[in-house]
Structure 1
Amino acid sequence: MSPELIMNLNMFAQKLQSLQERLANLYEDANTTVQPESDLLLAVLKELDTASKTLEIATEKLFEQTQKLVNVQTRLREVYKRYQDLLNFIPNAYLVSDTQGKILSANYATATLFNLQQRFLVNKPLVCFIAVEERQAFRCQLNQMHSSECDYVQKWILQIQPRDCEPFEAAITVAPIRDVKGKLTGLRWMVRDTDRVSYQPLLSLER
């Protein structure tokens, strides 16, 4: 929860308390008056008092729900941090992209392999790190994954072009991410330098 929302909730509670105090004073004044309108005024003030108490209960529930939300957000941040720490320990380059190949997250090994800091990898198209002569084939293969309903893992061999470094041959493993309705929502990638691993591709891009 943002600090602004917390501040607004506190201001609402303070205003509600101030309203209740004013109503209590008005009720006491009206109860001691001898004017004929006092009965009507008392009835109005009672209605307002009931309304203010209802608001007070609603405010308490809102604070309770807000606290639960804060607790959930805290737990989610802890889980996400553990997930990121785990990914950073993986020796191979691992990244997640959207369906068009735009990088959403990447581990430390990816930053090392692509010669670019992790924070600069996010929102970069993966095709930017593919050798120019193989980008068209890469895009074609990516488009085929969109039209396919298969969930099998695909393995490609192609040239990776790191930032300001010489290209190298890499083994790429890609797997689809689907929602509960089966719609393609993203892609998981693992990239390995073939000079460092023994690898036989199931599917190779034509050069």
Structure 2
Amino acid sequence: MRQAQGQPLSPERAVLIEAFHEVEATLEELSVVEEELRRQNEELADARGVIEAERQRYRHLFDFAPNGYLVTDASGLILEANHAVSIMLNIAPRNLQRKPLATYLNLGDKGVLYQRLNALESGEQRVDFDVQVTPRGGAAFDVSIAASPGPQDAFGAPTFLWVLQDITERKRIAAKLAAGAAETEQRAARQTTQLSAAYEHPRRFAETLQLVRASHLPIDDPALQLYSGAEAAPEEAQAGGVFSDAFPLDGRVALLAGEVVVDDGVGNGLAAAVYASHVRFLLRAFLNQGMDGGLALSQLSDSIETARSRGDWSANTAVSLSLVVAEKSSHRIQVFSAGTETFLLRPSGAADAIPCQGAILGVSPGARYEPVTDTLAHGDMAVLATSGFTQARRTGNPLEMEGLARLAQQAVSDGDGLDIIGSAIQRGLREYAGGQLHHDACILIARRV
């Protein structure tokens, strides 16, 4: 029977209605959850498809890579091998699984393999080594191996990744290149011996022309010490167009250092040595006639130009030099320069630069040379050097006169004897140039004591 209209529901009926509504709400929620699960399953299926495609792609790359790829366990047991390894060892990939890698190495290389495995187990991130591999039914050949730790397997055990590359052709080419290099060295040695023999006579003659050094000449001035040094470029004759000289005059002392210039470079060899000797002795003659330094250099410049015009000197040859004339009584000095620079070094370490005052000898008819005048106090040094010092290079940067002055300042701080100072300057030059001078170098130092 129906309940009369307007009468309240019985408790039992109210409970049933409420339960019905709750079931209805739960069904709606389950429907939403079901739809969400369906969507997630579709996304998972799509992701699984992408992952599988990626796995297949990387598997393809692994299998068909041009180099041999292996995966082993910690004992060197092969877990996976690609086709390149299969071809290399002449064994199908499936037949390589669970086989020790050491099986395919020459006996002498097995120990090397296990040493590298131990290194990888100890935390080494990469090992590289060469071995000889013996394929089934074939001859041994050289292989380069690189290995590094791989991901752990499903049981948490370590694995290692290996790359094998056949280096037979590389070694053949290297051996051929080495043989060619050895043959080239032997040929060069033979040619060097032949050239040295052919050059021996003019070299000795050039050295004889250059034997007269300032340190061998008496200057008749007990208040003046001299140091003369030279550095020979490794690939050039020991003597040539670079020179220094010192000689007494009437109440004066002359000091000079210079070089024969050929096509903007320093001349070397027999002809340059002859020109250098000509310059030294001609300048001596002019100064001994009572000429002052400026007039002597002007006369020398004109003489060189005349010798060139007569064909006695090469058309592209000139001379650069520094000349210092010191008065014995007053120790007053006059510094003349022809295309060169020099400097005075004080006992305090200060270096006073004397810039170039005149043109290179033999290039300007009627050229004049004016002196820079100074006085040598006790301990003062006049430093004359050729461009072999100032143009010595380190990574393309020349030492220049400022660098030479720094070498001299350092040498003075290291020792007091003039021989010690001069030797230290030359040692500094060799160190700066890395032992590779571009051409011969000459230095002359005069110190008042």
Normalising by the smaller structure, the TM-score range is 0.5 to 0.7
Tell me how far apart the structure 1 counterparts of residues 49 and 103 of structure 2 sit (CA, whole Å).
Answer: 35
- Tell me how many residue pairs correspond in the alignment: 160
Paired residues of 2:133 and 2:143 also in contact (CA < 8 A): no
Paired residues of 1:87 and 1:94 also in contact (CA < 8 A): yes
User: In the alignment, what sits opposite 1:19?
Assistant: none
Considering fraction of residues, name the structure with more strand. 2
User: In the alignment, what sits opposite 2:165?
Assistant: 192
TM-score (norm 2): 0.31
Which of 43, 48, 67 aligns to 1:73? It is 48
Which of 110, 122, 128 aligns to 2:85? It is 110
Change (3 A) 1:63 1:173: same
Note if 1:48 corresponds to 2:23: yes
Tell me how far apart the structure 1 counterparts of residues 91 and 133 of structure 2 sit (CA, whole Å).
Answer: 13
Change (3 A) 1:133 1:50: farther
Tell me how far apart the structure 1 counterparts of residues 167 and 73 of structure 2 sit (CA, whole Å).
Answer: 25
User: In the alignment, what sits opposite 2:65?
Assistant: 90
- Root-mean-square deviation over aligned CA pairs: 3.3
The residue matched to 1:173 in structure 2 has which SS?
strand
Note if 1:158 corresponds to 2:131: yes
Which of 135, 141, 147 aligns to 1:169? It is 141
Tell me how far apart the structure 2 counterparts of residues 48 and 124 of structure 1 sit (CA, whole Å).
Answer: 64
Change (3 A) 1:66 1:134: same
Paired residues of 1:96 and 1:106 also in contact (CA < 8 A): yes
Q: CA deviation at 1:67?
A: 1.5
CA displacement, residues 140-164 of structure 1 (integer Å, 9 cap, x when unaligned): 3201222134x3x4322223344x4
Name the aligned partner's letter for residue 130 of structure 1.
L
User: In the alignment, what sits opposite 2:119?
Assistant: 144
TM-score (norm 1): 0.60
Name the aligned partner's letter for residue 52 of structure 2.
R
Which of 94, 107, 110 aligns to 1:135? It is 110
Paired residues of 1:93 and 1:191 also in contact (CA < 8 A): yes
Q: CA deviation at 1:76?
A: 1.7
Tell me how far apart the structure 1 counterparts of residues 98 and 21 of structure 2 sit (CA, whole Å).
Answer: 59
Tell me how far apart the structure 1 counterparts of residues 23 and 110 of structure 2 sit (CA, whole Å).
Answer: 70
Q: CA deviation at 1:132?
A: 5.3
Identify the range of structure 1 (132-141 vs 55-64) with the bigger mean alpha-carbon deviation: 132-141
**Which structure 1 segments of 5+ residues have no match?**
1-33, 201-207
Structure of higher RCO (CA pairs closer than 8 Å, 6+ residues apart):
1
